[in-house]
Amino acid sequence: MTLRWVWGDVKRFLYILAGAPRGYPGRYPSWWQGLRELLGRQPPGTRNETWTAGDAWPVVGELVHGVGELVTRPLRRSPSSHAAPARPATRGPLRVLMVTTDWPTPDRPRTTNFIKRQADYLQAAGAEVEVFHFRGAQRPWNYLRAWREVRRRLATGRYDLVHAQFGQSGLVALPKRVPLVVTFRGSDLLGMVSDATGRHSWKGRLVQRLCRAVARRADAVIVVSEHMKAYLPASARPTVIPSGLDLELFQPIPQDEARRRLGWPLDRRVVLFVGRPFQARKRHALAQDAVALLNRSLPAELVVAWGVSHAEMPLYMSAADVLVCTSVQEGSPNVVKEALACDLPVVSVAVGDVSLRLHGIDGCELCADDRPETIAAALERVLRRRQRVAGRAAVRSLDEKVLTEQVLELYRSTLNGQLVADRRRQGKRRLTVRNATPAEEQGWDALVRRFDHHRVVHTRAWLGSLEASGCGRPLYLILERDHEIVGCLPGLLVRLGPLRLFGSPLPGWQTVSMGPLFDEQRVSSADLAATLVPFLRRCHGVHHIELMCSHLDPVAMRASGFRGETVFTYRAPLYPGDEAKMAKVMKESARRNARRAIKLGLVTRLEDDEAFVDEHYSQIKEVYARRGFSVPFGKRRVLEFFRHMKAAGNLIAISVYLKEGGPCVATGMFTVDGHELLLWMWTHRTQYRWYRPTELMTWTVMQKAMALGCTNFDLMGRGDFKAKFGAERDASKYRWVWSRYRTLIWVRDLAEAVYRWQQAIRGRLGRLPFSLLPPSPVEAGQVEDQQPGRERSHTPVEP
């Protein structure tokens, strides 16, 4: 369907809003005139292409389609038709429009002096830099006004490129008229931490998505630290250029002289904290707690340097004894680099690129965790040493003069068409599949997190647990287009007699999903299927392929010869920071049973000892035996899952005991990865089933997951019992099956049919007064799917 807005009234109205370009002849139309043309009646004899023919008021149809195009068109991957041709860099100084949402002003203390410093140094290096700064404040109207102003400036044709500081600033430069360079500095990619809750906000997650879209559209991308690359889409090819330092300003001053100028006592031990104390992500309270613990053994004072001018900061750093950094999230904290430039010792938690900056500097401490006790111990060691550090030599390479040349070189390469030409070729080259290199396997977890839909099942730890359990040999596959990684696919290769099977995953692996991850802007499901099948056949001799995920296009997969089977699961939302709201989502019976379990003396305990596996597997066997089946997986599978998930830091293993020191009545294993809580397995002792330990156990894990920021709970499989926890049935996931021979499909279908007949027969026999067979369990790993029958426990329970 042709969208009239591309050449019609809506496009004309947008240009009217943008203002008259320089040199426009005559009187430019007013916005009122454009609005009347947009909303006016359809002229006689014309046909509206986006609504029904002959409709007198086509505006509804135009807006429905026009708004959709207005949102998606600027974010498409193809080069903008409005981008002006880049002029050669030798024709004069580079003319740069720098756009930023943050800019230091004399009346407002800011921490973004590095942006002004970069603009000044670019000017000094010969570039013509014009800065347009506006206050975004997370208000769409501010961005709309800034967009209009940027469009007006770009219409003059004075600029060679736009340099957006922070990803959200790049939104006002779309659609492009000149090449776009974007610098991501931290919260734009990593997420915004709410000052009210101390957790990532929904606004921050929205900004993350918008910034990733801007990165896809930009001609060049800069990040300030290596670890930020993992948060960019796979199509972005970022250049790491840290924020520079003014080494002429940040120089060591003798401590006694600095203290006299500030009026500080010479004998006082000072711990310096730089940043907004009320900003949650800076965690000022954590620094206070650490210094309070420190004062028990060594007197010291915490000084907060906020509201101090940038020019006075070297004085504070020279007067202090140590800098403490407790931020929960940073891109590349400049305060650490500035402290090192003043030879000030630094004690910091592991955040941003601090570990890289402190590496090899004697007298600085990188804390193993963010507990106040750990930070206090590190501060005490540094303060008792009472020496400056040789930090200036370590940050000499971060001199703004040196980094300015790198920025200018990136400008020139962009204008000369190197990166632009690469972007124009993207998507036109053939998609290829290859095995990952050893280095790529080592960095696999960071690679998968570059793509949407990644889960804990895609990580090396999960695949390692499957390999150690004897499920197969892992394959780490890389999808490339134009020598650029655009996707990946983990899986395992299995030998079954003369046949080779590739599973991602195969049934019976107790794996909720897996499948490929890819940049959906550059790879389609049809491309994936057409490339993956020949590769696996040619390079690995595969006869049978199974993929399970929710983001492949069903039409394209079926057209490629795959057969799709819907796989049901239950999902529940989680509400970090609002347990009361989460409790209301759960059914009353679940809340009541959890309270009742507590009153009956049940206690929960998080487990980290491998002895937990013995009890957990024993309970699993008991439940399966009660239902007339043997366990379809061995204890080795449970043990290897426990070991690998624990080593990766994703495991939550929990037990429920009948009073402290009493018998274990229920166990469960869950994983946490990113914002998702995943149930792997749960079970209980039949004797204590009426204590309802499952509700208490699950609610305890949900509370811990919400404290970690989880927003989604996948209960892995079927079972109406799971609806108690606010879960709803999800049918978005498919198992895609392809076989080289039709016989394999027939054999698989026959085995599936036999299994279903068996289940049906057992279900009917189970309804007889004297059942010959006990009820069947649910699929492997879901040993708690059905609500227990109305049979009494041998142990009396108080009402």
User: How many structural domains compose the chain?
Assistant: 5
In a domain, 790, yes or no: no
Calpha distance 146→129 (Å, rounded)? 18
Q: Is residue 784 part of a domain?
A: no
Tell whether 267 and 384 lie within a shared domain: yes
As a whole number of angstroms, the distance between CA 628 and CA 626 comes to: 6
Whole-angstrom CA distances from 642 to 439, 468, 613, 621, 782 are 26, 11, 8, 17, 17
Task: Show which of 13, 40, 75 is a domain's final residue.
Answer: 75
45 vs 197: CA distance, rounded Å: 59
Q: Are residues 513 and 376 in the same domain?
A: no
> Which amino acid makes up residue 286?
L
Rounded to an integer, what distance in angstroms lies between the CA atom of residue 675 and that of residue 672? 7
Mean pLDDT of 605-630: 86
Check residue 466 and give its pLDDT. Answer: 95
Tell whether 275 and 335 lie within a shared domain.
yes
Query: Cβ-count burial of 26 within 10 angstroms (0-12 exposed, 13-18 middle, 19+ buried)?
Result: exposed
Do the Cβ atoms of 529 and 489 come closer than 8 Å? no
Among the residue ranges 132-136, 191-195, 384-388, 478-482, the one predicted with the least confidence is 191-195
Angle at 576 between CA 575 and CA 577, to 5 degrees: 110
How do residues 423-469 score in pLDDT, each as one tens digit? 455 444 678 999 999 889 999 999 999 998 999 999 999 999 999 99
Is the predicted pLDDT of residue 590 greater than 50, yes or no? yes
Is 776 a domain residue?
no
Pairing of strands 180-184, 544-549: unpaired
Q: Which burial class, exposed, middle or buried, applies to 70 when counting CB atoms under 10 A from its CB (0-12, 13-18, 19+)?
A: middle
Q: What is the DSSP letter of 25?
A: -
What CATH number is given to the structural domain containing 195? 3.40.50.2000
**In terms of domains, do 550 and 588 share one?**
no
SS3 216: helix
Same domain, 187 and 114: yes
Retrieve residue 306's tokens. Answer: 């906020």
Q: Which two tokens stand for residue 666?
A: 């229920």
The verdict on 263 and 366 lying in the same domain is yes
Going by pLDDT thresholds of 50, 70 and 90, the confidence category of residue 344 is very high
Q: Does 554 share its domain with 577?
A: no
Instruction: Count CB-CB contacts under 10 A for residue 186.
Output: 23
Q: Give the domain extent around 46.
A: 4-75
Residues whose CB is less than 8 angstroms from the CB of residue 219 and which lie 6 or more positions away in sequence, other chains included:
161, 176, 179, 180, 181, 414, 419, 420, 423
Strands 712-714 and 563-573: antiparallel
Give me the DSSP letters along 693-758: HHHHHHHHHHHHHHHTT--EEE--S--GGGGGGT-EEEEEEEEEEEESSHHHHHHHHHHHHHHHHH
- Which residues neighbour 594 within 8 Å (Cβ) at sequence distance 6 or greater? 692, 695, 696, 699
Domain contains 774: no
Last residue of a domain, one of 535, 560, 585: 560
Closest CA to 97 of 177, 158, 23, 155: 158
User: Which pair of structure tokens corresponds to residue 220?
Assistant: 């060049």
For residue 283, give every residue at least 6 positions away whose Cβ sits within 8 Å of its Cβ, in sequence order, or none: 326, 327, 328, 370
| 240 burial type by CB count under 10 A (0-12 exposed, 13-18 middle, 19+ buried) | middle
Q: Which are the contacts of 697, defined by CB distance < 8 A and separation ≥ 6?
A: 604, 654, 656, 666, 667, 668, 682
Split at pLDDT 50, 70, 90, the class of 770 is very low
Q: According to the model, what pLDDT value does residue 40 have?
A: 63
Lowest mean pLDDT among 60-74, 333-347, 436-450, 485-499: 60-74
pLDDT over threshold 70, residue 10: no
Per-residue pLDDT of 103-151, as tens digits, reads 876 656 556 788 888 999 998 888 899 999 888 777 888 889 899 899 8
pLDDT reported for residue 55: 43
Do 703 and 732 belong together in one domain? yes
Please tell me the pTM assigned to this model. Answer: 0.49
What's the average model confidence in pLDDT over 156-164? Answer: 88
Asked, for residue 611, whether it belongs to a domain, the answer is yes
pLDDT(551) > 60: yes
- The pLDDT of 686-691, averaged and rounded, is 86
The pLDDT tens digits of the residues spanning 695-722 come to 999 999 999 999 999 999 999 877 778 8
Reduced to 3 states (helix: H, G, I; strand: E, B; else coil), residue 103 is coil
**20 is a domain residue:** yes
| pLDDT at residue 161 in the model | 92
- The answer to whether residue 721 is domain-embedded is yes
Residue by residue, DSSP assigns 219-254 as: SEEEESSGGGGGGS-TT---EE-PPPB-TTTS----
* 263 and 305 inside one domain: yes
* Residue ending a domain, choose from 240, 272, 292: 240
Q: Look at residue 523 and tell me if it is in a domain.
A: yes
Of the candidates 348, 314, 340, the one whose C-alpha atom is nearest the C-alpha of residue 397 is: 340
How would residue 690 be classed by pLDDT, with cut points 50, 70 and 90?
confident
Statement to judge: residues 616 and 679 lie in one domain:
yes
Do residues 628 and 662 both lie within one domain? yes
Is the domain of 531 the same as that of 594?
Answer: no
Residue-wise pLDDT tens digits, 252-303: 999 999 999 999 988 899 999 998 888 888 899 999 999 999 999 999 999 9
Angle, helix 59-72 to helix 9-18, in steps of 10 degrees: 60
CATH value at residue 480: 3.40.630.30
List, edge to edge, every strand of the sheet that includes 365-366: 301-305, 270-274, 322-325, 346-348, 365-366
pLDDT at site 221: 92
Residue 501 CA to residue 336 CA, distance in Å, equals 52
User: How much is the pLDDT for 193?
Assistant: 80
Which residue is it, tokens 């404290």?
A: 707
Mean pLDDT value across residues 564-576: 91
- What is the structure's pLDDT at 635? 92
